[in-house]
Structure 1
Amino acid sequence: MANFVLVAGAWLGAWAWDDVVPELRAAGHGAHPLTLSGLAEKRGVPAGQQTHVHDIVAEVERLDLGDVILVGHSYSGIPAGQAAERIGDRLSRVVFVDANVPVDGESFVSVWPEGRPAVEASIAEHGGFWAPLTAADCAGQGLTDEQIARVVGGSTPHPGASLTEPAVLERPLSELPATYVKCLLDGDEPSPDVAKLLTSEHWRLETMDTGHWPMFSEPRRLARLLLAQPSH
């Protein structure tokens, strides 16, 4: 039995996995969606990027989980990638779902140059938070109007410090057993930093013909993909 620890991207919480969790549990596995500090039901909790890394590590330890398949979506690939190496032998695999990946000494905004000014401006204008998603942000991503309303309605402002703090890696990310899931409506090719990691013998690439939020647009297909992951 694997234990899936599921961490959604910016603005989202554990609720984002509501359509995926039943599929994983029905297959006999543990499924543990996690809300990061400062988001959803944890709004108001001060949070930087290392807070989010700690959130993930602490949840794995609190539940005493083994055979962990750690799933990081979008922004949360950055804390998940750092947490993956810190949980040691508890980790079976880390899965990055259309995600950013941590680069030692770099932040979310520093490795996302095309969006950096807009993100930093939003943080400055919204009291230290990245303003939540709008319906326009979700266009062209394979979502129905109902799904877009659900994503936007559940989004909360994202703690800005988590986007500007640098990642801390103790060893190369390429040494971790990892799968990268590229959602093709959000771009045909992985980013250059991910493409480099995919040259590692420990990494594999999967694709989904959907947009950036597959837990909403294709939850069953995403669950099947997660269930098909090798243990190491």
Structure 2
Amino acid sequence: MAIFVLVAGAWLGSWAWDDVVPTLREAGHDVLPLTLSGLAEKRAVPAGQQTHVRDIVDEVERLDLRDVVLVGHSYSGIPVGQAAERIGDRLARVVFVDSNVPADGESFVSTWWEGPAKLEAAIAGNGGAWAPLTAADCEGQGLTEEQTARLVDGATPHPGDSLAEPAVLTRPLGELPATYVKCLLDGAEPNDDVAALLTGDGWRLVEMDTGHWPMFSQPYELARILLEAAR
């Protein structure tokens, strides 16, 4: 049996996986939803991006986890991708859920699709943190009003330092065994970096007909994809 280590994206903590966890456990797997430093119940902890990488690696090593399926959603694909190479043979597979992927020397801010300056200004104008998403940000993402309210109400500011710090990779990301889950309501095609990685033999693409937060909009369907990735 695999152990799933689940890391949600910006503004979210381990609670974001609450509707996914039961299906994974019912299938006989161990599951560890992880809150990164500076978020949710760890909101008071200062955090850069490398702090988030260490959060993941340290927990895997502390618990001596093996056969790890490491799952990163959205922003968390960046620290998850780095952690995946650092845990070595403990890794069974990494799953990127509609996520960014790390590029050596690049940060989340430097690759922001609207341009780094816009995101840098938003973070600076909010005391060094990225302000939580609003209900308007969730429109068109396949969420019910109840799901949107739960997502928005649980979100906390995201530490800006983690978005500005560059990734550090010691080998090509394409060498990892990986699944990329593309949520089609958030864009029909993966970005160019992901598309290039998907040409490799070790990467698989899975599409979901939902929005950017499938752990809320389609938790059972996402869990089934994660179970398939673990085979």
The amino acid that maps onto 1:166 is P
- Aligned-residue Cα RMSD (Å) equals 0.8
Matched residues in 1 for 2:80 and 2:96: separation?
8
Matched residues in 1 for 2:218 and 2:121: separation?
32
Matched residues in 2 for 1:187 and 1:43: separation?
30
1:104-161 superposed Cα distances (whole Å, 9 cap, x missing partner): 0000011124153332122101111000010000000000000000000000000001
Matches within 5 A, 1:123-162: 123-162=123-162
Asked if residue 174 in structure 1 is aligned to residue 187 in structure 2, the reply is no
Matched residues in 2 for 1:151 and 1:216: separation?
8
Matched residues in 2 for 1:158 and 1:181: separation?
23
Residue 9 of structure 1: aligned partner: 9
Matched residues in 2 for 1:86 and 1:116: separation?
28
The amino acid that maps onto 1:217 is S
Matches within 5 A, 1:65-104: 65-104=65-104
Residue 202 of structure 1: aligned partner: 202
Residue 190 of structure 2: aligned partner: 190
Matched residues in 1 for 2:137 and 2:11: separation?
12
Asked if residue 118 in structure 1 is aligned to residue 94 in structure 2, the reply is no
The amino acid that maps onto 1:84 is A
Asked if residue 229 in structure 1 is aligned to residue 215 in structure 2, the reply is no
Task: Tell me how many residue pairs correspond in the alignment.
Answer: 231
Q: Return the TM-score normalized by structure 2.
A: 0.98
Residue 24 of structure 1: aligned partner: 24
The percentage of aligned residue pairs carrying the same residue is: 77
Residue 106 of structure 1: aligned partner: 106
Answer whether contact 2:112 2:119 (CA < 8 A) is retained. no
Would you identify which runs of 4 or more consecutive aligned residues in structure 1 move more than 3 Å? none
The amino acid that maps onto 1:193 is D
1:77-106 superposed Cα distances (whole Å, 9 cap, x missing partner): 000000000000000000000000000000
The amino acid that maps onto 2:46 is P
SS at match of 1:228: helix
The runs of 5 or more residues in structure 1 that have no matched partner are none
The amino acid that maps onto 2:165 is E
The runs of 5 or more residues in structure 2 that have no matched partner are none
Residue 56 of structure 2: aligned partner: 56
Indicate how the Cα distance of structure 1 residues 220 and 96 shifts in structure 2: closer, same or farther if over 3 A, else same. Answer: same
Residue 164 of structure 1: aligned partner: 164
Q: Return the TM-score normalized by structure 1.
A: 0.98
Alpha-carbon shift at residue 229 of structure 1 (Å) = 1.1
